[in-house]
Each structure stands twice: as structure tokens, then as C-alpha cells.
Amino acid sequence: MIGSLLYLTANRPDILFSVCLCARFQACPKESHLHAVKRIFKYLAYTPSLGLWYPRKSSFDLHTYSDADFGGYKVDRKSTCGTCQFLGNMLISWFSKKQNSVSLSTTKAEYIIAGSYCAQIMWMKQQLLDYVLTLKKCQLGVITLVQYV
């Protein structure tokens, strides 16, 4: 069931966090995890019209947003972080994961994810340049970088 839900997250980012949280317990699942997975399936059954939409004519401004919490996972006190990248108004990449180390503050958790999403956005920018697509504007969180190519 988790494998099927992970496949669906490609078009349904609204279930990504819940599915990944359930996937953490695949080695030793309990009945409560089965109920959580069934609840995700019920949610999918009642929201079939939700999903990603990619309009044909859209701008090519690259926007990236990220967030991290401080010790939000109560089992081992590791922070959960996530980013999403938009090309115009189209969601093209996202991830949500538990950080590898325990952060001592919210600021440290945010710095860890900022480094990760800056690397991701630089890779995306290079991929777009390889396809001869130039960016006029690249926005990282609340910081705006304007580049004229």
C-alpha cells in the first residue's frame, strides 16, 4: 500500500508528508499505521479532482520556498524540512524529509535546509541553461536575485 501511495505522490504532493511519515514505520508497522494508510486512501477517494496542473503558457521565473521545524519529530527530536520549486506557477520539484542530524536551534535547522535548496536550485538553473532556457528572475524564499542573461 505504501508503494502505491509513493507512486501517487508524483501527481499529488498534498499527500507526500503523510505517506513519507507512514513509510518510516515499514520495518515494524503497527495497527495504528495501517489505520493511517487507510485514512490516506479515504482522503484520495473523496478528492479525485485534486492534482497538479501545468498550463501551456506560463512564465519561466524560478521560485523556491523552504521551511524547517525545530525538533518536530518527537521520537528522535530531529527536524523535518521541506522545499518546493516553482517554474512560473507550476510546481516542478519538491521534497520533505527528516534531517540527518539533531539541530540545536530553529536557525540551525533553517540553515541546513537553505544549503540543500540552494544546491537544488543551482542544479535546476544549470539544467534550464543546458536546454537554452534563460531565467530573468530567480527567487529564493524571500531573497530575490535578479540576473540578466
pTM for this entry: 0.55
What is the per-residue pLDDT for 35?
Answer: 93
pLDDT digits (tens, 9 = 90+) for 3-32: 889 888 877 878 888 898 888 888 888 898
pLDDT confidence of residue 41: 94
R_g (Cα) of the chain, nearest Å = 18
Non-local (6+) Cβ contacts of 38 within 8 A are: none
pLDDT for 32-60, tens place per residue? Answer: 889 999 999 999 999 888 877 767 777 77
pLDDT in tens, 63-84: 788 777 776 666 777 777 778 8
CA 4-68-17 angle, to 5 degrees, is 15
Q: Please report, in angstroms and rounded to a whole number, the separation of the first and last CA atoms in the chain.
A: 47
Query: How does DSSP classify residue 69?
Result: -
- Could you give the angle at the alpha carbon of 138 between the alpha carbons of 55 and 135, nearest 5°? 65
Question: Mean pLDDT over residues 125-130, rounded?
Answer: 79
On the 0-12 / 13-18 / 19+ scale of CB atoms within 10 A, 32 is: exposed
Cα 50 from Cα 46, distance rounded (Å): 10
CA distances from 57 to 53, 54, 87, 90 (A): 12, 9, 12, 11
Q: Domains of the chain: which residue ranges? A: 2-46, 62-146
pLDDT of residue 24: 87
Mean pLDDT score of the chain? 76
